[in-house]
């Protein structure tokens, strides 16, 4: 039984007026609207997306 680390990510700023690549990262993480929270696996790909749009997110290690 492996213990997969996760990140709890919440969108706290609006996506309007953002770069197309940043909007793609938001949807890639599964976030749909402001104040929506999702738990994603702590993988290098997800970390990269979170790092790119860190200014739009609130991040907690879960």
Ordered by where they begin, the domains of the chain are: 6-61 (3.30.1390.20)
d(C-alpha 5, C-alpha 39), whole Å: 10
Bigger pLDDT: 59 vs 1:
59
pTM for this model (two decimals):
0.90
Residue 3 pLDDT greater than 90, yes or no:
no
pLDDT in tens, 14-56: 999 999 999 999 999 999 999 999 999 999 999 999 999 999 9
DSSP 57: E
Q: What is the dihedral of CA 44, 25, 29, 37, to 10 degrees?
A: 120
Q: 31 by DSSP, 3-state: which? A: coil
Measure Cα distances from 58 to 3, 20, 28, 36 in Å.
23, 20, 16, 10
Report how far apart the first and last C-alpha atoms of the chain are (Å, whole number): 18
Tell me what pLDDT residue 18 has.
Answer: 96
Residue 1 pLDDT greater than 70, yes or no:
no
């Amino acid at each position: 039984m492996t213990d997969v680390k996760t990140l709890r990510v919440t969108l706290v700023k609006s996506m309007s007026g953002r770069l197309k690549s940043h909007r793609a990262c938001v949807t890639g993480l599964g976030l749909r609207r402001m104040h929506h929270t999702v738990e994603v696996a702590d993988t290098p790909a997800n970390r990269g997306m979170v790092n790119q749009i860190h200014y739009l997110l609130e991040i907690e290690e879960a």
